[in-house]
């Protein structure tokens, strides 16, 4: 019924698939049959990992609709069917798209299929040079990326791209990879986020397999490292990265790095690394102006088959705060709303949506109560116990995770957080936070749990 089973189909995934009919029956009984048919029937239960059920949806409209209407119902139904509490993560899988999915979606040209590179990475076909909109704010980064894709290792080495989150850095990295692989499918492209690099390093150190790790990383023609700021303060990872950097650089291999800040502001980064980062082309991406923002939005609308007028695009570009990711989220919300009402995307609808979701009041961060609630549901420990004083290991763990999330989400002071947790000392809050950061740094499964909890709190977050 779903994809064919392969050797790699895991028992956990089978459990999820096995209970799926039951989940659908439960959740669809809570909504109009038309909506169930339109949205639920297109979900694909992709897998179950460490308490997180991954559900694939065919496009971002479906995802947004499900998130806003029935995510918690789905979570509850799956948990009941499986007999254990799970979190739900929604992922868009364009391949799961069927032609009839959105009445609005135009029939588009088939995306070019890029061969997988030798290390198994295949760049997203959403992120291409031809759909990257350029303006004053990103011209240099774009030009640098194009030059490198044309002749890896020949021009600027390394290319260091920096700029705030959500402004197209990952888009450029994928575009480089894509262009190279289209030309030469066997070219060894490695794309890795600095976080993944650190996690893989730790696990290979634990297993005493540092050499295979080094070999895998070194065997590349182009090394694309995303979100390098992540390794600030992580000395062992920096050491390894330095080693790798030098090896690749000396052998003429191309290196591209992305960061949310310029090299000189990467505090807690080894000076030798910083100066290496600055030794090629350093290109920034700035906040785009309103015209570029609306041009990007119109390009996305075209790709997704959303009928967006220039007037509405300009209005959104002016009124939706935040980065391009937020802007795309706003367009998706608008498209969902218009398809549900069977009404075109008008200025009135856009104004209503902006008022509802992006006015000052609507932008409030998740509250402390919501955070406690999410942790309590996940660990099945009552809120009072999380806020209480018990030192039993599972309760203390849940409490520490709650402290971590509170700090990440609210950015509150340690003192204030201590107060929220029943007048606790601020240093114990800091220790709890550090403890969870360390655990997540050394244990991938645990890191996934924390990430999913964060995402559940902050579905629009980065």
Nearer to ligand ADP, 26 or 455 (CB): 455
Q: How many helices (H) and strands (E) does the chain have?
A: 21, 8
Residue 296 engages ligand ADP in binding (rule: CB under 6 A): yes
Is residue 253 a contact point for ligand ADP (CB under 6 A)? no
From the list Mg ion, ligand ADP, none, partner contacted by residue 167 (C-beta under 5 to 8 A by kind) = ligand ADP
Closest approach of Cβ 18 to ligand ADP, in Å? 34
Say how far apart CA 294 and CA 359 lie, in whole Å: 19
For the segment 170-189, give every residue that binds ligand ADP (CB under 6 A): 170-171
Binding partner at 195 among ligand ADP, Mg ion, none, C-beta below 5 to 8 Å by kind: none
Please identify, using beta-carbon distances, which residue of 325 and 426 lies nearer to Mg ion.
325
378 binds, among Mg ion, ligand ADP, none (CB under 5 to 8 A by kind): none
- Which phi-psi region, left, alpha or beta, contains residue 88 (left: φ > 0; alpha: ψ -120 to 50)? beta
CA separation for the pair 348, 444 (Å, rounded): 46
Give me the torsion for CA of 6, 10, 15, 18, rounded to 10°. 0
Contact between 133 and ligand ADP by CB under 6 A: the answer reads yes
Beta carbons of 85 and 377 less than 8 angstroms apart: yes
Residue nearest to ligand ADP (CB): 168
Does position 102 interact with Mg ion (CB under 5 A)? The reply is no
432 to each of 96, 422, 426, 429, how far by Cα in Å? 41, 15, 10, 5
From the CA atom positions of the chain, what is the Rg in Å? 23
Contacts of 152 (CB under 8 A, 6+ apart): 180, 187, 221, 222, 253, 254
Stretch that binds ligand ADP, among 7-15, 169-177, 187-195, 241-249 (CB under 6 A): 169-177
The count of chain residues that interact with Mg ion, using the rule CB under 5 A, is 2
Closer CB to ligand ADP, residue 76 or residue 408?
408
Q: Is the distance from CB of 308 to CB of 328 less than 8 angstroms? A: no
190: β partners = 223
Instruction: Decide if residue 170 touches Mg ion (CB under 5 A).
Output: yes
What the block records as the tokens of 195 is 């976080």
Question: Which residue, 152 or 163, has its beta carbon nearer to ligand ADP?
Answer: 163
Q: 170 or 175, CB closer to Mg ion? A: 170
Q: How far is the CB of 451 from ligand ADP (least distance, A)?
A: 16
Q: Looking at 87, 225, 324, 449, which residue binds ligand ADP (CB under 6 A)?
A: 324
* Region 215-234 residues binding ligand ADP, contact defined as CB under 6 A: none
**Long-range Cβ pairs for the range 196-205 (8 Å, 24+):** 197/225, 197/231, 197/237, 197/240, 197/241, 198/230, 198/231, 198/234, 198/237, 198/441, 199/441, 199/444, 199/447, 201/236, 201/237, 201/240, 202/441, 202/442, 203/444, 205/236
Among ligand ADP, Mg ion, none, residue 156 binds (CB under 5-8 Å by kind): none
Give the DSSP H or E segment for 432: helix 426-442
> Which of 39, 127, 379, 433 is close enough to bind ligand ADP by CB under 6 A?
127
Say if residues 64 and 336 touch (Cβ distance below 8 Å): yes
Binding of residue 456 to Mg ion (CB under 5 A): no
Stretch that binds Mg ion, among 88-96, 168-176, 240-248, 276-284 (CB under 5 A): 168-176
Per CB under 6 A, the list member of 62, 138, 195, 339 interacting with ligand ADP is 138
User: 9 near 47, Cβ under 8 Å?
Assistant: no
Pick between residue 173 and residue 301 the one whose CB is nearest to Mg ion: 173
Q: How far is the CB of 195 from Mg ion (least distance, A)?
A: 11
| Angle formed at CA 227 by CA 222 and CA 230, multiple of 5 degrees | 125
Q: Give me the least distance between CB of 174 and Mg ion, in Å please.
A: 10
The set of residues, in sequence order, having a beta carbon less than 8 Å from that of 10 and lying 6+ positions away, is 47, 48
Q: How far is the CB of 429 from ligand ADP (least distance, A)?
A: 29
Q: Which residue's Cβ lies closest to Mg ion?
A: 170
Element (H, E) at 282: strand 281-284
From the list Mg ion, ligand ADP, none, pick the one residue 127 interacts with, judged by a Cβ distance below 5 to 8 Å according to partner type. Answer: ligand ADP
Could you say which of ligand ADP, Mg ion, none residue 328 binds, taking C-beta under 5 to 8 angstroms by partner kind? ligand ADP
Closer residue to ligand ADP (CB): 115 or 291 = 291
Residues at the interface with ligand ADP (CB under 6 A): 127, 131-133, 138, 165-171, 296, 299, 324-325, 328
Residues at the interface with Mg ion (CB under 5 A): 169-170
């Amino acid at each position: 019924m779903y994809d064919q089973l392969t050797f790699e189909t895991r028992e956990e995934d089978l459990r999820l698939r096995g209970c799926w009919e039951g989940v659908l029956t439960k959740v669809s009984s809570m909504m109009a049959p038309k909506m169930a048919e339109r949205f639920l029937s297109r979900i694909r239960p992709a897998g179950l990992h460490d308490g997180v059920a991954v559900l694939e949806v065919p496009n971002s409209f479906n995802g947004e609709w499900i998130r806003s209407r029935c995510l918690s119902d789905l979570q509850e139904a799956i948990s009941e069917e499986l007999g254990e509490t799970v979190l739900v993560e929604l992922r868009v899988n364009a391949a799961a798209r069927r032609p009839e999915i959105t009445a609005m979606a135009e029939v588009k040209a088939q995306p070019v299929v890029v061969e997988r590179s030798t290390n198994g990475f295949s760049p997203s076909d959403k992120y291409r040079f031809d759909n990257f909109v350029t303006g004053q704010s990103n011209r240099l980064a774009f030009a640098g990326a194009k030059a490198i894709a044309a002749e890896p290792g020949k021009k600027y080495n390394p290319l260091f791209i920096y700029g705030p989150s959500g402004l197209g850095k990952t888009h450029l990295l994928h575009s480089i990879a894509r262009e190279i692989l289209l030309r030469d499918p066997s070219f060894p492209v490695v794309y890795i986020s600095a976080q993944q690099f650190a996690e893989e390093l730790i696990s290979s150190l634990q297993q005493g397999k540092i050499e295979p790790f080094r070999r895998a990383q070194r065997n590349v023609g182009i090394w694309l490292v995303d979100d390098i700021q992540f390794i600030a303060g992580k000395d062992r990872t920096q050491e390894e990265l330095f080693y790798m950097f030098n090896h690749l650089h000396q052998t003429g291999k191309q290196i591209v790095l992305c960061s949310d800040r310029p090299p000189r502001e990467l505090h807690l980064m080894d000076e030798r690394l910083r100066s290496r980062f600055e030794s090629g082309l350093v290109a920034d991406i700035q906040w785009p102006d309103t015209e570029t923002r609306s041009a990007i939005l119109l390009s996305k609308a075209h790709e997704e088959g959303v009928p967006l007028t220039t007037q509405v695009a300009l209005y959104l570009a002016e009124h939706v705060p935040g980065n391009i990711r937020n802007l795309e989220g706003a367009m998706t919300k608008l498209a969902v709303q218009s398809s549900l009402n069977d009404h075109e995307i008008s200025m009135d609808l856009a104004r209503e949506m902006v008022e509802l979701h992006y006015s000052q009041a609507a932008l409030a961060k998740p509250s402390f109560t919501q955070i406690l609630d999410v942790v309590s549901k996940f660990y099945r420990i009552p809120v009072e116990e999380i806020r209480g004083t018990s030192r039993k290991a599972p309760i203390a763990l849940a409490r520490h995770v709650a402290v971590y999330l509170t700090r990440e989400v609210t950015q509150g002071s340690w003192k204030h957080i201590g107060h929220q947790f029943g007048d606790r000392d601020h240093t114990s809050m800091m220790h709890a936070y550090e403890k969870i950061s360390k655990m997540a740094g050394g244990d991938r499964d645990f890191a996934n749990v924390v990430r999913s909890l964060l995402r559940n709190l902050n579905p629009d977050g980065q």
